[in-house]
Amino acid sequence: MKMRLNDTDITRLITACKLYQEKTGSEFMWEQYDDLINKLNAYQDNYSADNEIPIRVSSNTISGSSRMGGRRADGF
Protein backbone atom coordinates (compact mmCIF):
# COMPACT_ATOMS: atom_id res chain seq x y z
CA MET A 1 0.00 0.00 0.00
CA LYS A 2 1.34 3.41 -0.97
CA MET A 3 0.77 6.36 1.29
CA ARG A 4 0.11 9.72 -0.33
CA LEU A 5 -0.65 13.11 1.14
CA ASN A 6 -4.08 14.63 0.51
CA ASP A 7 -4.70 18.30 -0.30
CA THR A 8 -5.45 19.16 3.33
CA ASP A 9 -2.14 17.65 4.49
CA ILE A 10 -0.19 19.50 1.82
CA THR A 11 -1.93 22.80 2.55
CA ARG A 12 -1.11 22.44 6.26
CA LEU A 13 2.54 21.76 5.45
CA ILE A 14 2.70 24.78 3.15
CA THR A 15 1.08 26.97 5.83
CA ALA A 16 3.64 25.79 8.40
CA CYS A 17 6.50 26.49 5.98
CA LYS A 18 5.16 29.99 5.30
CA LEU A 19 4.90 30.68 9.03
CA TYR A 20 8.49 29.64 9.72
CA GLN A 21 9.69 31.30 6.51
CA GLU A 22 8.41 34.67 7.67
CA LYS A 23 9.91 34.25 11.16
CA THR A 24 13.42 33.46 9.99
CA GLY A 25 16.04 36.17 10.00
CA SER A 26 18.14 34.28 7.49
CA GLU A 27 17.94 34.89 3.75
CA PHE A 28 19.29 31.37 3.21
CA MET A 29 16.53 29.76 5.30
CA TRP A 30 13.87 31.95 3.64
CA GLU A 31 15.00 30.57 0.28
CA GLN A 32 15.04 27.00 1.64
CA TYR A 33 11.43 27.35 2.79
CA ASP A 34 10.50 28.93 -0.55
CA ASP A 35 12.00 25.93 -2.40
CA LEU A 36 10.10 23.55 -0.13
CA ILE A 37 6.82 25.41 -0.71
CA ASN A 38 7.36 25.13 -4.47
CA LYS A 39 8.05 21.38 -4.15
CA LEU A 40 4.92 20.89 -2.08
CA ASN A 41 2.85 22.77 -4.68
CA ALA A 42 4.31 20.58 -7.43
CA TYR A 43 3.55 17.45 -5.38
CA GLN A 44 0.00 18.65 -4.88
CA ASP A 45 -0.42 19.23 -8.62
CA ASN A 46 0.97 15.83 -9.60
CA TYR A 47 0.43 13.33 -6.79
CA SER A 48 -2.29 14.49 -4.44
CA ALA A 49 -4.55 11.73 -3.13
CA ASP A 50 -7.60 13.97 -3.61
CA ASN A 51 -9.47 14.25 -6.88
CA GLU A 52 -10.50 17.86 -6.32
CA ILE A 53 -8.87 20.95 -7.77
CA PRO A 54 -5.63 21.58 -5.83
CA ILE A 55 -5.32 24.65 -3.64
CA ARG A 56 -2.22 26.57 -4.71
CA VAL A 57 -0.41 28.44 -1.97
CA SER A 58 2.64 30.53 -2.77
CA SER A 59 5.10 32.25 -0.50
CA ASN A 60 4.34 35.36 -2.55
CA THR A 61 0.69 35.38 -1.40
CA ILE A 62 1.54 36.87 1.98
CA SER A 63 0.92 40.59 1.65
CA GLY A 64 2.58 43.19 3.76
CA SER A 65 5.53 41.07 4.79
CA SER A 66 9.19 41.04 3.98
CA ARG A 67 11.50 38.17 3.21
CA MET A 68 13.36 38.79 6.44
CA GLY A 69 10.73 38.20 9.12
CA GLY A 70 8.08 40.87 8.56
CA ARG A 71 4.66 39.91 9.85
CA ARG A 72 1.13 40.77 8.87
CA ALA A 73 -1.22 42.30 11.40
CA ASP A 74 -2.98 38.94 11.87
CA GLY A 75 0.25 37.27 13.03
CA PHE A 76 1.36 35.55 9.82
Q: 46 to each of 9, 27, 51, how far by Cα in Å?
A: 15, 29, 11
pLDDT at 2 over 60: yes
Each residue of 16-27: pLDDT tens digit?
Answer: 999 999 999 899
The pLDDT of residue 4 is 79
Each residue of 36-71: pLDDT tens digit?
Answer: 999 999 999 888 777 555 456 665 554 444 455 554
The pTM for the full model equals 0.63
Q: How many CB atoms lie within 10 A of CB 51?
A: 7
